[in-house]
Amino acid sequence: MAQGTKTGYIHSDTVLISMTEYEGAKNQIETYSGQLSAQLQSKGAEFEQKAQEFEQNANTWADAIVTDKREELVRLETNIRDFQQQAESKMRVKENEILGPLYSKIEAAIKSVAAEEGYDYVTPSQVYLYASPDHNITDQVIMKLGGTKPTGN
């Protein structure tokens, strides 16, 4: 490391959960996740019901009906898989939409604290196997954001 270079580090997850807006954001994400999960469960229940009906009645149906019902089950299964993939993508988008502004505030606070304290670099704490606690700026960033330090940290 070059002479005179000052590097700090931060526990960004600790900063995030210390923010007053975090609980509301977390609740929004959980609500959205619950809605997607309920839709997926509904689709799964429909599939299970139709699969059970198929199993119970396949012996009594004409071959054309058996073929149609089998194709319907395949379509439903494909729709469920597609929905799962779409739900995962929608969750990522929603998390970015909700948490993005919080991360922007964190970034601005980090830059402010770094400038005030004369740090040339600030990195996530996970980068280091060991780092002196003297260079941990997590608490300063939390204070800059008006948050409270979570207990246990």
CATH class of 7-144: alpha beta
Q: What is the mean pLDDT of the chain?
A: 93
Structural contact between residues 18 and 148, judged by C-beta atoms closer than 8 angstroms: yes
pLDDT at 68: 97
Q: What would the two tokens of residue 23 be?
A: 């609980």
pLDDT at 141: 96
**pTM for the model:** 0.80
Number of helices and strands in the chain (H, E): 4, 2
The Cα-based distances of 51 to 30, 43, 71, 77 in angstroms read 31, 12, 11, 10
Q: What is the C-alpha separation between 71 and 66, in angstroms, rounded?
A: 9
Q: What would the two tokens of residue 53 be?
A: 């009906």
Phi-psi bin for 4: left (phi > 0), alpha (psi -120 to 50), beta? left
| Model confidence pLDDT, tens digit, residues 36-90 | 999 999 999 999 999 999 999 999 999 999 999 999 999 999 999 999 999 999 9
